Amino acid sequence: MGQVSINENVMDLTPDGPRLKGMRCKECNNHVFPMQSGCPKCTSDNVEEVQLGNKGTLWAWTIQGFPPKAPPYLGEANPEKFKAYGVGYIELPGQLKVESRLTISDPTQLKSGMMMEIVGEAIGEDENGNELVTFAFAPTD
Amino acid sequence: MSDDVAIVGIGIHPFGRHEGVSGMEQGAIAIRKACEDAGISWNDLQFAFGGSVAAGSPDHMVSQMGLTGLQFINVVNGCATGGSALISTFNTIKSGAYDLGVAVGFDKHERGAFRVQTGKQGERDWYGGSGMALTTQFFGMKINKYMEDYGITQSSLAKVASKAFRNGSKNENAWRRQAFGEEEVLQSQMLSYPLTQYMFCSPGEGGVALVLARADKAHQYTDKPIFLKSAVVRSRKYGSFEVLAPSLALDYADGPTVDASKAAFEAAGIGPEDIDIAQLQDTESGAEIMHMAENGFCEHGEQEKMLADGETEITGRLPVNTDGGCLANGEPVGASGLRQVYENVLQLRGQAGKRQVPDSPKVAYTHVYGAPGISGVTILSA
């Protein structure tokens, strides 16, 4: 029983924390997350998988104030126990803006432009009792 | 402006929840009313376009409407499904193929529908599983950023919702007909900051039908034809900020609403200053605010003062969502865009009763927006 990535096709769990796998277009350098087979910017299919950056700035955000439907949600969906969480887009320099959970759920502590970095967040368990880890972004200080 | 196509009959089945009445029956009832309004029967219709996302194939209704052999084509196009049925009807008449047809849209969604299943078959749904993939989050993020960028306050969000329910209380076909004050709106549950429960519309039920005819034959059916000047749908471009996007480009581009609006104004040969009344997509109250600017009716940020001055009230300079919009009517996706057109026809005919816009409006505008990044606009004139 250990920790496993919520989905290895989109995220690796490394000793330094989660790392996201994205698409880079070799023709126009456009990035997309997760990996896909063609570039929506220039229409080329000459693309490769790359690891996305682990730090960036908050671009837009909200707070998820009610439990999402389960399934598909893997986290706590019981309204009695549910805890609100932040959701936002983080701009990764030179790559893209990635949508992510945020570790902060207090609107007074979130501001566009703040520096954030990726961290792992336990969201549930798989069928073998391993802890499923997804990604979230946390303020860098 | 060319006068090629006219709306000569309109029908609606009330929006809301109707236990025991299928979505398709609601569409059929709307068609019967539209035919009665135009003084025709189902037999007279040469063709139909039908839109529904969740309530079955519209053409199946021929078995209850009558097996006349007419051309009946189904349309499914996300949140622009109803609008797309209308555009197809409009273009069919413009092309000269037929003279008289009907656009019908209906839907029936359960409470809390619009749940999104994402991810590839056979692998774990990491997107929804992680607590993303909710359309409400997109709306919260987009308006929250917009408020930061352009100085819109939460009080304006409450004003929009309060206006919707006030207008809905004057509409016998609306789902929510109880007026709520701004305080009640602000104090309802915070769903997706800064949006509260009463600032969001709900999935619902309803049906709308519009009978269209060649403009030069319109007076056979009605003494108040309303001319459809343009009807446009646009999908998104690279860089636009849309629902359900695990990543966005670094570049930022305008959304499909801006493109659809420009194309519709160009086709009609007029501009935003010529519009007397507008029905704008208000999935939540922030959407109405952003769509005022995206459709060209003001600069970004001017909405704060416009709302404070009551400019979008029924008695204001540019009445917006006079029938209560999606907030008071709910959103049966297949019918929603056609509801907006129905309301504008009533207003241009001067038949909107307690919510009639004063001084005989002459030119009216509708706009839908939704998943997966699609927008539809129509312009009507009396």
Question: Which domain covers residue B253, as residue numbers?
Answer: 5-112+200-381
What confidence score (pLDDT) does residue B119 get?
59
Instruction: CATH number of the domain at B82, please.
Output: 3.40.47.10
- Decide if B57 is inside a domain: yes
- Decide if B298 is inside a domain: yes
When divided into structural domains, chain A yields a total of 1
- A44 in contact with B, Cβ within 8 Å: no
- Decide if B128 is inside a domain: no
Mean pLDDT of B80-95: 94
Find the residue in A nearest to B195 (Cα): A62
What confidence score (pLDDT) does residue B299 get?
98
Answer for the pair A41, A25: CB distance below 8 angstroms, yes or no: yes
pLDDT higher than threshold 60 for residue B2: no
Q: Which residues of B touch A (CB under 8 A)?
A: 112, 115-120, 123-134, 137, 140-142, 144-145, 148, 189-195, 238, 241, 245-250
When divided into structural domains, chain B yields a total of 1
What confidence score (pLDDT) does residue B111 get?
75
Cα distances (Å, whole numbers) of residue A33 to A8, A71, B127, B276, B277: 13, 23, 11, 43, 41
Q: Which of B337, B351, B329, B290 is nearest to B164 (CA)?
A: B329
SS3 B64: helix
Q: Which residues contact A8 (CB under 8 A, 6 or more apart)?
A: none
Question: Who among B130, B137, B246 is closest to A34 (CB)?
Answer: B246
Mean pLDDT of B51-79: 94
B226: confidence class by pLDDT, cuts 50, 70, 90: very high
- Count the neighbouring beta carbons within 10 Å of the beta carbon of residue B270: 18
- Decide if B301 is inside a domain: yes
What confidence score (pLDDT) does residue B1 get?
41
- A33 in contact with B, Cβ within 8 Å: yes
- Decide if B193 is inside a domain: no
ipTM of this predicted complex?
0.96
Mean pLDDT of chain B: 95
- Decide if B130 is inside a domain: no
pLDDT tens digits, one per residue of B317-337: 999 999 999 999 999 999 999
- Decide if B184 is inside a domain: no
Tell me which of B132, B189, B195, B247 to substitute to probe the interface with A (most A C-beta atoms closer than 10 Å). B247
- Count the neighbouring beta carbons within 10 Å of the beta carbon of residue A83: 9
Are A64 and B148 inside 8 Å of each other by CB? no
Three-class HEC string of B169-206: CCCCCCCCCCCCCHHHHHHCCEEECCEEHHHECCECEE
Q: Which residues of chain A have pLDDT under 70?
A: none
Question: Which domain covers residue A56, as residue numbers?
Answer: 3-139
B123: confidence class by pLDDT, cuts 50, 70, 90: confident
B372: confidence class by pLDDT, cuts 50, 70, 90: confident
- Decide if B195 is inside a domain: no
pLDDT higher than threshold 70 for residue B28: yes
pLDDT tens digits, one per residue of B241-295: 988 899 999 998 999 999 999 999 999 999 999 999 999 999 999 999 999 999 9
